[in-house]
Structure 1
Amino acid sequence: MMRYPLAFGFALGLLALLPANTASAVELPVRKAGLWEMKVLHTGSSVPDMTMQHCTDETTDKEMSTSFSPMAKEMCSKQDVQKTATGYVSDSVCGIAGMSITSHSEIIGDFNSAYTVKSTSHSERGPTGVPRDSTTTIEAKWLGACKADQKAGDIMMPGGMKMNIKDMEKLKALIPKQLPK
């Protein structure tokens, strides 16, 4: 049962980083190639905090934008990213597993050594059937080159689970269409 919250939390975290596909939107910069540690901290949610590592390169980061954009377009009625004086702001409204989630994210950092994403979300009709507010913070820092046994796109999850972000169909399959009853 632990895999459901981890996968769901991971998917929600990725949605917060998706570049928008609207004319007024700005795309996020590509992260420096190498191994990134990402700490995902939750407040007001049953999803556990987790630390994962992501091996990436310029091509993979660009492909993530291209691959996730159709998923975001399918799930989100609004996905807007704007450049600010200190970084970026993202606002979205998405439907996931029978829930409507409105999110506001502030993204700061240089995408070469570290960045932080602070997201506040309001969900309508969650697993408890009542509205809920939550906060997620992603603290990412560049660790250096990827390890010898890693390739671009590899994500090392808690407990040793390894997946590759390029395998989008598997990730999509982890996101439930409806909440379990």
Structure 2
Amino acid sequence: MPLMGAALGLLFGPSAFAADAPARKAGLWEVKTAIEGQGRPVTVQQCIDAATDQMLQSSAGPFAAPLCTGRDVTKSDAGMTIDTHCSFNGKAANAHAVVSGSFDSAYTMTVTAEGGALPPVKMTIEGKWLSACAAGQQAGDVIMANGVKVNIPELQKRALGADPSQPGK
């Protein structure tokens, strides 16, 4: 899965994308990610609200925003294209994404990325709104293909050294 992280980092690294992309409808989304030549697609469910959707879209992943020098977003009636330009260890890396559909019901994003000592990768992400989040789910919950549930905001707090069981400490 490192290739997926690299492609997502190229595409979603700087928070500028979060301002350019329409927010997904709050609720439970099924998101299927397929990487060409990397086996079967991975499907997860994400319970989101406006804040967690923006956080997921602007997450830097393995690449920090300073590594990316530009992002060109072109919107049209059919969707949008996003071209991202980054540099890793002095080597240029680029990602091109084509997004179609509706962020209220279903969308498809096709990403091609190459450069920066990474092999070329082609990834397709399909998102489908399922319903309101289920009882017991909270915004930021991601249910993995194996049924394991993780909460992304809580993981980020732990990664930054905060203890989520001790608010304000």
Q: TM-score range by the shorter chain?
A: 0.7 to 0.9
Q: Deviations over 1:1-21 (max 9, x none)?
A: xxxx2x662563365356763
Of residues 30, 52, 61, the one that matches 1:60 is 52
Distance in 1 between residues matched to 2:43 and 2:135, nearest whole Å: 20
2:156 corresponds to? 168
The 5-angstrom pairing of residues 11-90 of structure 1 reads: 12-13=7-8, 15-17=10-12, 21=16, 27-44=20-37, 46=38, 49-65=41-57, 68=60, 72-90=64-82
The answer to whether the aligner puts 1:140 opposite 2:98 as a matched pair is no
Distance in 2 between residues matched to 1:120 and 1:170, nearest whole Å: 32
CA contact (8 A) 2:27 2:49 kept: yes
**Other structure's SS at 1:52 match:** strand
Distance verdict in 2 for CA 1:102–1:83, change over 3 Å: same
Distance verdict in 2 for CA 1:10–1:134, change over 3 Å: closer
Distance in 2 between residues matched to 1:96 and 1:154, nearest whole Å: 31
The answer to whether the aligner puts 1:151 opposite 2:144 as a matched pair is no
Question: Amino acid of the residue matched to residue 133 of structure 2?
Answer: C
Distance in 1 between residues matched to 2:9 and 2:131, nearest whole Å: 22
Q: How many residues align?
A: 158
* Alignment TM-score, normalising by the size of structure 2: 0.73
CA contact (8 A) 1:19 1:81 kept: no
Distance in 1 between residues matched to 2:74 and 2:151, nearest whole Å: 28
* Alignment TM-score, normalising by the size of structure 1: 0.69
CA contact (8 A) 2:12 2:59 kept: no
Query: C-alpha displacement at 1:99, in angstroms?
Result: 7.5
CA contact (8 A) 1:20 1:80 kept: no
Distance in 1 between residues matched to 2:158 and 2:42, nearest whole Å: 20
Gaps of 5+ in 1: 127-131, 173-181
